[in-house]
Amino acid sequence: MITFSTINEVTEYLNQQKAAGKSIGFVPTMGALHKGHLELMQRAKKENDLLVVSIFVNPVQFNNADDLKKYPRTPDEDNRKLERVHCDVLFAPDAGEMYPEKVTKQYDFGQLDKVMEGAFRPGHFNGVAIVVKKLFDIISPDRAYFGEKDFQQLAIIKKLVAMEKIPVDIVPCPIVREPDGLAMSSRNRLLTAEERKIAPFIYKTLKEAKLRRNHICANPLRQMIINIFEGNKQFRLEYFDIVNDETLQPINGWNNKVGTVACVAVWLGNVRLIDNIRII
């Protein structure tokens, strides 16, 4: 694996590789790598000549300074994991390299970023879009791989690619879960042992929503699941919603022709966790 920390060096190297006819599979990350990331990488490695990974804890997507400070950083462990999946290129810039000037760009994603994560984390998706566009410009990947755990992020990135006409295939990859159902996330390592034990309640409740969909309409089901989350005082619910998988707007009734996903964000102690489940 070759590691680059500057834009000039990585683009020069990748331009040579592209001139030699190599295809590039790209997995952007913020590090603290877990099995979910590694599955994206294994798939990217299989489907492309070169696997390129970026690690950059992107300050402009954090709407909370404390969250940015607390975000786990595990560079040595990450390097070992990257070697294990035979990563070819690691791009690990610092904030000065990525943002030499103040960032002012404002994207308009319509209603897509007004709900769920967008409503609770103002500016978050604008920051994600800024860094992803910049990384795509630097790496020029053929394919880029994103996990479906960040379901809304995936929708925003697809929209960004369409709006900016970026020639890259976005490859969505299924959520990877721990054996007890907890969705893999870099934030899981911030949970205490006690919190980690109760965290699978999130997925268990999402599965309950999926099961009940055959017996109850969307609006009462939404309220029932909100009540279950709110009834468990170990968690603090931020939102639970059942949405159209393309527009991300809440649905009011079932329609087997409309892809439907239930999404949740909860706090467990000081850790904010998100998850989702496909209902239709």
Question: Of residues 108-167, which lie at the interface with ligand PAF (CB under 6 A)?
Answer: 128, 131-132, 150, 153
- How far apart CA 280 and CA 261 sit, in angstroms, is 7
Question: Of residues 46-75, which lie at the interface with ligand PAF (CB under 6 A)?
Answer: 58, 61
Residue 48: both structure tokens together: 């492309």
By CB under 6 A, tell whether 14 contacts ligand PAF: no
Closest distance of CB 52 from ligand PAF, Å: 13
By CB under 6 A, tell whether 205 contacts ligand PAF: no
Rank residues 112 and 251 by Cβ distance to ligand PAF and give the closer one: 112
Task: Give 91's strand partners.
Answer: 4, 54
Is residue 22 within 8 A of residue 66, CB to CB? The reply is no
Is residue 225 within 8 A of residue 262, CB to CB? The reply is yes
Rank residues 157 and 221 by Cβ distance to ligand PAF and give the closer one: 157
Catalytic (active-site) positions = 37
Question: Of residues 21-40, which lie at the interface with ligand PAF (CB under 6 A)?
Answer: 28-30
By CB under 6 A, tell whether 82 contacts ligand PAF: no
Closest distance of CB 220 from ligand PAF, Å: 33
Rank residues 28 and 118 by Cβ distance to ligand PAF and give the closer one: 28
Q: Which of 261, 257, 255, 259 is nearest to 222 (CA)?
A: 261
DSSP secondary structure string, 173-198? EPPPB-TTSPBP-GGGGGS-HHHHHH
- How far apart CA 139 and CA 150 sit, in angstroms, is 22
- Where on the chain is the footprint of ligand PAF (CB under 6 A)? 28-30, 58, 61, 128, 131-132, 150, 153
